[in-house]
Structure 1
């Protein structure tokens, strides 16, 4: 079954406790800070029902129509379909959103690969994986991920400080486990459920730990509290900040104040080896849509920079073309890593088709690490007017507007209003508070850069280079290379 936008909105009116800027939110679907992004997610649901998009966004199985985004990938066509679905959504909404379900569902697919590992500790946990994978497909719920704890003093073990600094199990009951702690999560306040798992697995000799817990948490469950950061939406005129007012994906500190997790929603508990395995495979699939988003960010930077160059005739200069080529190389570099990871895809332990891991993780490093430099190139190409141009009200007010319309009109094709709109878009993309927030989000949303590099190290096959050098240098056969 596929949901409608109104069904999604109705599911959010469950009495959940949401706070923002000191205010208790009565309805997340209508509050000015959340309504724009809720509307975007609702639009995605409605698109599935429209003849124009239905075959691109859904598939039929057992006479039931399901979303393409949540289909576990088993063949190359599944990934091709997902690429086409993301492209349809991004172009319809006219922007880039990250945490809207497809970027986090891959973490549940990783559980499929870890099913046998979980079964070693408790067979019912493995059965829970099967049930939840099917439930997400059949109910089309908005599923996100709860990753980052407040952590507290990182030089001290969790049990040596306030234990709530990291999510842990307080006690067991016949009905399930009771958890306490908190997680930072994007989109939690307007999602249906989250996959909660440990941020780190720094266990050494511990076989069991109350901090080794992975489960599904309903975002409207009793004891779940969403304390949100200030939103960029509603602060300014959308004419001046078109991206911030439509696509801000609000983060929250999600507090778990003695929350009951039914046993059927538990994937692992106390077993540190199970938790470590899940953490090591967490982004096996979800890194793909995460990196794919940056392809569209690159397109926006190229488009904004190219239009600015064309407006003023600078696109004919070789120096400008070289910088535009730098942006194009960045874009195509992302595209190449994504394309190759699917072309070289391999079967996973759970029978799914996973992107070639070394290529995918290397692509994530490339896309994330180069983004700051690419944003600066785009700023240079857009020029200083993105930081000095007055707001839309100044253009529309007699007196100031007369002069602004005079000086911002370039020629018979580029009148002042189009010039102002493009500069406002570029400012919001590259220079605004929202732009800075998104840049930081990209660097840390799937772990910091050193973890990205660790994933490449853990998945790259060093045997080929080692053997090549062994033969080229004439090294002895008895020399053993490091294990992977």
Structure 2
């Protein structure tokens, strides 16, 4: 049943080995770098218990008569996706920003593996039973579930066997209790999450049917032998008044070291089966791309609102050139919205009988959202003007000697006084121009694989038969050009 925020906090006080800035973290729930984002995740848990949000964030399962999280519910009909979309929007509005790795966007990767039951059954039906068990557990135990994909990789011109084998996560030993793995993965939120779906990043296995690198499993992120080495955080680098987003929504990434970690057999989802590994790489985002792209829609709203406030305060919104830039931002925003909406309206049945967003429309929407994000961020910078990189910090506005001067030069009119203007410019800087903004942009470009893989997903899911057949008929070509006998 759905957990409370405090139950979540208690679940990650498990003695896990977390390092940041050369310091061993005693408690991720209270450490300054982690506390803000842990509090956000805790708030999401608590929202499912609030009278105001309970029916948006959760549902009552008929089988058990217990409340479960909407985000973890298996999608069987269009309303399930509509409900998930409303839940995500509700969270973003409640917290006043965007968080990406909180669980609802990564559980879909396990659903993708659930769609490969036939592939797994050909190797060992136990793997399918393990997947079904973990899907059920995720639904009812409500863990914070993340994803582990990217390895350090090392020299990519060499096979992993021809260099340090630990550059890619692999199995080093089988025991009666399970498999023992070594290597490392980069994972966002691993240091403060409960579990991760860990799987390989290799796409081309050649003729290698069996490989110790072809392994996927559910990982307890507090397990013995795991070491979380985190990047430095943005929270605390400046005051919350000057960096209102970085100090609330920084999602910490970690290099997670697997130092001979035991994975119980019941947590192994596939092993030494390159066909299963290839399947999951090709279908990994068929569900998770939806909540991921939906979050870019919120980013678009944040950029549009920030830019429009900035031009309206000085009356620049009356200029045609400014309106054209705002309209360009709006077109990008509505393009994302249209793809999300259409992917639900034209949703498709998956191989296992789930309902997945229309794959061609979803992946095309992802390309539009991510490929244009850098351009749209710069357009928003133009509309905000150079003051987002010139404005003094809040301490100057608070200083008795400087405050009158800053009030004079930063007040525009009776509606836009200096303090509101400072807040807006600080918000714009953190959204578009700060270290945190640059980090988030890079994260968006690669969090669900790099842009070239996004286009490859479109190629693999777009139905080319219609255009081909139209031209064959229109040009009066023979059936042979279509390969028709």
- If the length of structure 1 is used for normalisation, what is the TM-score? 0.99
Structure 2, unpaired ranges of 5+:
none
Are 1:52 and 2:55 matched, yes or no?
no
**Does structure 1 residue 273 correspond to structure 2 residue 275?**
yes
- Give how far 1:200 is off: 1.6
Deviation at 1:481, TM superposition (A): 5.5
Distance 1:298 1:187 in 2: 23
Q: What's the TM-score once normalised by structure 2's chain length?
A: 0.99
2:40 is matched with: 40
Choose from 339, 347, 350 the match for 2:349. 347
Of 151, 162, 165, which residue of structure 2 is paired with 1:163?
165
Checking the alignment, whether the CA contact within 8 Å between 1:129 and 1:267 is kept in structure 2 is: yes
CA distance in 1, matches of 2:295, 2:114: 24
Per-residue CA deviation, residues 65-84 of structure 1 (Å, 9 max, x unaligned), is: 00000001000000010011
2: CA distance, partners of 1:400 / 1:164: 57
Quote how far apart the aligned CAs of 1:480 are: 2.5
Partner of 2:372: 370
| Per-residue deviation, 1:473 | 1.3
CA distance in 1, matches of 2:154, 2:343: 37
Residue matched to 2:78: 76
What's the counterpart of residue 20 of structure 1?
Answer: 20
Aligned match for 1:461, one of 446, 460, 463: 463
Asked if the contact 1:201–1:272 (Cα under 8 Å) also holds between the matched residues in 2, the reply is: no
Give the Cα–Cα distance (whole angstroms) in 2 for the partners of residues 481 and 278 of structure 1: 30
Q: Which structure 2 residues correspond to residues 386-425 of structure 1 after superposition, within 5 A?
A: 386-425=388-427
Correspondence for 1:316: 318
Superposed counterparts of 1:65-104, under 5 Å: 65-104=67-106
Equivalent residue number for residue 211 of structure 1: 213
CA contact (8 A) 1:213 1:268 kept: yes
CA-CA distance at 1:297 after TM superposition: 0.2
Residue deviations 1:373-417 (CA, integer Å, cap 9, x gap): 100110000001000000000000011222111110111111100
Bigger mean CA offset, 466-475 vs 20-29 = 466-475
Counterparts of 1:177-326 in structure 2 under 5 Å? 177-326=179-328
Q: Provide the residue aligned with 1:137 in structure 2.
A: 139
Which among 333, 336, 341 is matched to residue 338 of structure 2? 336
Superposed CA offset, 1:357-382 (max 9, x none)? 01100111110000011001100000
Ranges in structure 1 where 5+ consecutive residues have no aligned partner: none
RMSD over aligned Cα atoms: 0.8
**Quick check: 1:209–1:270 contact (8 Å CA) kept in 2?**
yes
Contact 1:195 1:216 in 2 (8 A): yes
Q: Which residue of 2 aligns with 1:4?
A: 4
1:166 CA drift (Å)? 0.3
In the TM superposition, what is the alpha-carbon distance from 1:449 to its structure 2 partner? 0.8
Greater shift in the superposed pair: 29-38 or 103-112: 103-112
* SS of structure 2 residue aligned to 1:205: coil
| Equivalent-residue separation in structure 2 for 1:478 and 1:81 (angstroms) | 47
